Amino acid sequence: MTMLRQATKVGLPFMNLVRFKGLPILEQLHLEEKLLRTSSDNWCIVNDGTNAPAIVMGISGKPSELIEIGPVLRDHVPVIKRFSGGGTVIVDSGTIFVTLICNKDVVPGVQPYPRSIMSWSGLLYSEVFQGIDGFQLRENDYVFGDHKFGGNAQSIIKSRWIHHTSFLWDYDSRNMAYLKLPARAPKYRSARNHAEFVCRMKEYMPRSIFIERTMKALESHFSVKPVNLDAVVGSHSSGYVHSTRLLSKHELKDAVTTLLESRALSG
């Protein structure tokens, strides 16, 4: 069996696997951005829950349009702007993160463009959720039926790309109240609020089974190699300037002021 497994892996590209549990999401995003831009290897990063709730916006996100700034400031919820595209999520210990960083020609037939990458990732996760009714990639979200349980985003550079996903294995409904209904939303959302739009993956699959099945699906495309965490952090730690950052309270307060001023002018 071992020899057969080795033989079937011949010819598959290597992918380094790094697993965390409870890594702060800002640290995860910093690591991802650094590996995307400074490494030439393929990587899979799995973070089984982050240590504390945080709001994470995409590169073009405007706080005044996407989050309820008053309650966020009152409750000291960190707000992060990440380097990739896509929308706004609130993540916590119930969120499972899976990130894939690939060289552009590593997956046959996949071009370094958003829809091509996402089409392939949709097929990958179809293997993970095989047998579960209703799973699909729907208007760029991972859903069961018409309920979203996984949000993803990407960043594409000259010869590499990253596809990262936050899976809602579980979530605190009260946290969804920090998020506004976004102006740019998929059609299938049909103006539903967060509680009616999202669902919990734990109602469909145990946490450990999801991670195990994701690893198995990856192994049909890559020769996956667990990597020492200290080696990853150490070798990619110096000199890199991230664009992913924590927004300051001052920036959030300014966003509120600007919004109120523009309403006063138009009102």
Q: What's the rounded Cα separation, in Å, for the pair 35 and 98?
A: 14
Separation CA 248–CA 88 (nearest Å): 17
Q: How far is the CB of 220 from other proteins (least distance, A)?
A: 16
If we measure between CA atoms, which residue out of 9, 54, 82 comes closest to residue 245?
82
Binding site for other proteins (CB under 8 A): 58-60, 83-87, 109-111, 113-120, 140, 152-158, 161, 184
> Minimum distance from CB of 261 to other proteins (Å)?
19
Minimum Å gap between C-beta 81 and other proteins is 12
Instruction: Compute CA distances 12 → 16, 17, 164, 221, whole Å.
Output: 13, 15, 21, 7
The helix (run of H) or strand (run of E) holding residue 256 is helix 249-266
Question: Which among 175, 233, 179, 201 has a CA at the least distance from the CA of 68?
Answer: 179
Of the candidates 149, 47, 29, 50, the residue with the CA atom closest to the CA atom of residue 93: 50
**In the complex, minimum distance from the CB of residue 120 to other proteins, in angstroms, rounded to a whole number:** 6
* Contacts of residue 65, Cβ cutoff 8 Å, sequence gap at least 6: 180, 182, 183
Helix (H, G, I), strand (E, B) or coil at 255: helix
**Minimum CB distance to other proteins, residue 57 (Å):** 12
